[in-house]
Amino acid sequence: MLSTWRRRAATLSTLLVVPLVAAACSAPGSNNNNSNQSNKGPIKIAVADAQSGQLSSLGAWELKGVRLAADEWNAAGGINGRQIEIGVFDDQGDPTVGTNLATKIASEGYIAMLGTAESGVTIAMAPILQENKIPNITSGQSPGLVAVKSPFLFLNGPTSTTYDETLAKYVVDTKGMKSIAMITNNGGYGKGEHDAFLKALQSRSVTPVDDQVVTADQKEFSAVLTGIRQKNPQVIFVGAEEVQSGLIVKQARDLGITAPFAGGAPFGTPVYLDTAGAANAEGTIVSSPYLSNDISDASKKFAAAYKAKFNEEAELHGAKAYDGAQILFTALKNSGEATGEDLAKAIRATKYKGLLGDFAYDDTGVGIFATTIGLIKSGKLVKA
Amino acid sequence: MQVTLQTFIGGLSLGAIYALVAMGFSLVFRTMGLVNFSHGNVVMIGAYLASTFVLSAKLPFAVAMAIAIAVTGLIGIFIERVLRPLENKDFDLMLIGTIGFGIVLEALAIIIWGATGRAVPNPVPAAPVEILGLRIRTYDLVVLAIAAAATALLVFFLQRTKRGAAMQAVAMDHEAATAVGIHVGRSNAVAFMLGAALAALAGGLVGPLLYVSPAMGGSLGIKGFAGAILGGFGSIPGAIVGGLAIGVLDAFAAGHFQGYSELVTFLVFTVIIMVRPMGIFGERTVNRA
């Protein structure tokens, strides 16, 4: 009997990891409201994002951005007199969970979806949303989103191609740095960054001195960074999410690497700054469509409202989600609360002056094509 | 050569953390024959408690760690107390119970501290030590020293104290132990408490190295569990060697196989386990399960 316990425990241990992961997934935040969609009732908008798991900081920012926009519209009387009702769905950053949610969103009568912040999840959800004619404004930025070619999929920011083209232009053309090392992760975002930045370098006939790929879950970078240190690059490009970017930079400084780091949106977040430490992050080159809350009057107003509502400093992801929500609500207003294809057409036709810039959608679902370069100086992101 | 050594050093510091996690797994397993699946989440709670005392209460790191270890130990006792009615009756339900506790702890962390997570500043801000072109973080040395001290204390407790000997006896044969007057439930409670305290130690130490978030328990728990299995599940020296081995293996795989490192780490792990199913230090004497 004694030895059977061990065997059973061992079998169970392997069997149980799966349900453990799956069970940890049951969404805490999904809002079940089964009221039938009538023309007089509220307009149901789904927000799907990671509200738990490793990418939940993105989900939290996104939701705040959307809430702020929805509350502003509702306080002003809603869309043509109808209130906006937000349903929150937790995708945990997992494409499989995402596809289930897409079906759920369609069956519960939501007319549009905002999110997700993870390109991989959005790509997985896109076919189901397209089939059900539910327009989706995502916060993802992978060029893979454009490759889906869904007429119902829109981005609330530029793609990695824009981020990295701007970055390569600054680093190679403006600063004349030719010795560049790359570290990217093999997740959806990192892969997109890798391909986009490499393409931007190749178009300038620059070959990176080192091109390292890490796993999305990796936390220890001694091997990768020591290899890079020996090649002594002038700048190191990182394509990884906030926390991982922070860990890479922190460990690089501990290993005595002094070269500046360069990257996209994650480098502009407070999570990156905290994880790396302000001293280690000094000099980081960031390509972002929203450098700070002080870039315009609109952003100052947004940041003040955000701070008042959530007692937290606004940042890029909240601003993007806010823009996306504003575009959707504007399209709904202009089209007389259209749904399906008409709503998608209305979004495409919407010209919107947002926090990130002037949105004008093309056929690919991208509405904005510019980012600016910022530098981290004494813990603050300033325009280069 | 330099890359190899630097990789080895990098692997050791996370390996020491995995070793502490593995020790918690093994301690509970050798005493009760139970795999505590909430262990990774207990690590996360320990990390949050330690970081809260450092960041919010502004306590010195060592004091914060001590309080976090004590509080987390109490959580361990609580988990054991709730599961006790199932002891020696239905182990499958008990296993599922620990999984349930894991989910509850993660949900609690999200409710209390939010989903975003936090970075913990390095408590030892001294510059890295440089020897022959190798750079060793001072904090890594602290982590290794504390892990070694914790191991020594645990071994001393198990082998040189009455309570520890009682736990060994329960581990060998709980019915015989009961017959000679050892309180099995209390012994299990001590195992759970020590397991949780080790988890808090691991979590508190790993905070400044990584990033504290509700999801951090997942990968630490799995790597720690793999370390425990690799070393020989239930064996304390095995947990240390296994944990360090997983850390170093992971670091080297990352350098050589890049995006496929995780795959390679666990493939190597699987091969070792196939060749030596009882792990490196598979013990026969304390084989309750």
Q: Are B250 and B22 within 8 A, CB to CB?
A: no
By CB atoms closer than 10 A (0-12, 13-18, 19+), residue A293 is buried
Pairwise CA distance, residues A75 & A66, whole Å = 14
Tell me the fold of A43-158+296-360.
Rossmann fold (3.40.50)
CA distances to A218, A240, B248 from A185, rounded to whole Å, are 9, 6, 20
Tokens of A37: 């969609």
CB < 8 Å to A9, chain B: 29, 33-35, 91, 95, 289
Unique residue bearing structure tokens 């189901």: A128
Of B120, B158, B138, B165, nearest to B23 (Cα)? Answer: B158
Q: Return the H-helix or E-strand segment holding B228.
A: helix B216-231
CA A194 to chain centre: 16
Predicted confidence band at A358 (pLDDT cuts at 50, 70, 90)?
Answer: very high
Q: Which CATH class is domain A160-288?
A: alpha beta
Please tell me if residue A251 touches chain B, with a CB cutoff of 8 Å.
yes
* Cβ atoms within 10 Å, residue A35: 11
Pairwise CA distance, residues A247 & A266, whole Å = 12
Pairwise CA distance, residues B193 & A110, whole Å = 48
Instruction: For chain B, give every domain's residue range.
Output: 2-116+133-275
Report the residue from B9, B115, B233 with minimal CB separation from A60.
Answer: B115
pTM of the model: 0.83
CB < 8 Å to A63, chain B: none
Q: Are B23 and B42 within 8 A, CB to CB?
A: no
- pLDDT (tens place) for every residue of chain B, 289 residues total: 788 888 999 899 899 999 999 999 999 988 888 889 999 999 999 999 999 999 988 899 999 999 999 999 999 999 999 988 887 677 788 889 899 999 999 989 988 988 778 888 888 877 888 888 788 889 999 999 999 999 999 999 988 998 888 888 888 888 888 898 888 888 889 999 999 999 999 999 999 998 898 888 888 999 999 999 999 888 888 999 999 999 999 999 988 888 888 899 899 999 988 888 888 887 554 444 4
Report the residue from A9, A220, A271 with minimal CB separation from B14.
Answer: A220
Closest CA in chain B for residue A2: B289
Unique residue bearing structure tokens 């009997």: A1
CB < 8 Å to B118, chain A: 274
Report CB contact under 8 Å: B103, A23: yes
Give the pLDDT of residue A2: 44
Q: Which CATH class is domain B2-116+133-275?
A: mainly alpha
